[in-house]
Structure 1
């Protein structure tokens, strides 16, 4: 039920962190994986490791803020593997500052990548699936900061809240075509991109307040990812899986 044999997956933000992990896991479970991000050197390393492990992967450099680049990524995916029927929208950035100090560019850049970029990729994937008369699964990577707020993160919190609500609206648009749209909302997980904050005094204080008393390990996201990507979730659409060991339901933030 959790097999992805014969499926074609595209993962944005696949050059590092959660995206790299997701691309690797999907390939391990049988999907042909298209790794998308801006940094081609890092993408080639990720795709190379997947291939060395017996999987199939293609590296495509594309910026999700550019609609033509997004369309080009799907063109290359189709030429190499066929129609993309699993999309993991993982590309995203943070830029922390108090609203008193945050620049307009800091706000708009986060929104353009985290929200508009996700929408561009989801639309491109959906249009091609409908044209091909194929079902599919779109998985949007949100955050518990779309559910709860954190200081100095008004841009990021707004973007992830938008992702959660957009997921539900896209699910309504696309369910008649057999295209499921769901979201994952992880808590704090250790990656190269987050380690600077998690290891800081503020991050360590946050860890001490977590119900689990620790941050998440990346492999703890594998199960939720495979559930949403596979036919095991054939009756799930518009859902949000919160993976945070009860963090977001605690009053201690």
Structure 2
């Protein structure tokens, strides 16, 4: 009898197949960590990448390799989500290739730190287009598709602990993330009667790229405020980076990892969280509980 049950269970897995997820910005870092966790949870993955990053091809191929190692089919699409029409094009291609959609993860985003007095109109428009407009449009397309196809799916937005705690040089970013936290509550009401759940995950200090990845990239981006040219000149001599210095000052004594965010998402989209919608789950190791600023040069613990 036990053998018969095992055979039936195995056949059921084959019949049901793997679920399908679309993730924006998953060629490296937090997006990659999310994708890998979801692949292990039984999802095939479609994801976007940005070709403007140095050595993006290396990161892209690595992500594909890691996903396939976990048994996932994967599809990758170049997309600049600041461009008009790019979100719709990405969504349509991904759903057409996957055949359906069970989960959308809005992850692609950036903070271009500037104080109020140095903000430009281009800077403002870029952040709004990528961090807010693209999120809303992708949620709209996913919700419309799920409703039309009677799919009780999930939508997850990656926001930030900065949606709750403000920092200097990040006024636009903090405001956008705060807005997304509130939007998720309202949008969750719009689609709840269709069995669709919308939740946010708000990361704190996450080690987005390891020292090894930075060496592969060979260039720090504008947003890599922990970038150190010594990585290229003499990587063996750099024992501690920004995250190594910051980690002990966080209440849980370490910086976060991309898989920490992936694990939070895996919970929120599971049946164990089937009664949860419209929430923002902060995943920050307690970073903002004492109001600690992200400054590894602070003396002592930085929070006590």
Q: Does the aligned pair in 2 maintain the 1:36–1:43 contact within 8 Å? A: no
C-alpha distance after superposition, 1:148-180 (max 9, x if no partner): 000011111111111111111110111111110
Find the aligned partners of 1:183 and 1:154 in 2 and give their Cα distance: 20
Q: 1:207 to 1:78 in 2, by over 3 A?
A: closer
Q: Does the aligned pair in 1 maintain the 2:25–2:107 contact within 8 Å? A: yes
Q: 1:173 to 1:100 in 2, by over 3 A?
A: same
C-alpha distance after superposition, 1:97-126 (max 9, x if no partner): 111112121122112111111001010011
User: Which residue of structure 2 aligns with residue 28 of structure 1?
Assistant: 40
Structure 2: gaps spanning 5 or more residues: 1-12, 210-220, 229-239, 294-304
Question: Aligned-residue CA RMSD in angstroms?
Answer: 2.5
Is 2:152 aligned against 1:140? Answer: no
Aligned counterpart in structure 2 of residue 55 of structure 1, from 72, 80, 90: 72
User: Which residue of structure 1 aligns with residue 26 of structure 2?
Assistant: 14
Find the aligned partners of 1:191 and 1:201 in 2 and give their Cα distance: 12
Question: How far is 1:244 from its partner?
Answer: 1.1
Aligned counterpart in structure 2 of residue 174 of structure 1, from 191, 194, 211: 191
Query: Structure 2 matches for 1:151-162, cutoff 5 A?
Result: 151-162=168-179
Q: Does the aligned pair in 1 maintain the 2:154–2:197 contact within 8 Å? A: yes
Query: Structure 2 matches for 1:104-119, cutoff 5 A?
Result: 104-119=121-136
User: Which residue of structure 2 aligns with residue 197 of structure 1?
Assistant: 226
Find the aligned partners of 2:241 and 2:91 in 1 and give their Cα distance: 42
User: Which residue of structure 1 aligns with residue 142 of structure 2?
Assistant: 125
Find the aligned partners of 1:198 and 1:145 in 2 and give their Cα distance: 21
Larger mean Cα displacement after TM superposition, 232-241 or 207-216: 207-216
Aligned counterpart in structure 1 of residue 102 of structure 2, from 73, 80, 85: 85
Question: How many aligned residue pairs are there?
Answer: 251
User: Which residue of structure 1 aligns with residue 89 of structure 2?
Assistant: 72
Q: So what's the TM-score if we normalise by structure 2?
A: 0.75
Is 2:61 aligned against 1:38? Answer: no
Q: 1:107 to 1:207 in 2, by over 3 A?
A: farther
Larger mean Cα displacement after TM superposition, 179-188 or 28-37: 28-37
Q: So what's the TM-score if we normalise by structure 1?
A: 0.89
C-alpha distance after superposition, 1:76-117 (max 9, x if no partner): 223322221100000101101111112121122112111111
Q: Secondary structure at the match of 1:225?
A: helix
Find the aligned partners of 1:101 and 1:207 in 2 and give their Cα distance: 30
Question: How far is 1:198 from its partner?
Answer: 8.0
Find the aligned partners of 1:89 and 1:131 in 2 and give their Cα distance: 21
Find the aligned partners of 2:22 and 2:247 in 1 and give their Cα distance: 32
Find the aligned partners of 2:280 and 2:156 in 1 and give their Cα distance: 10
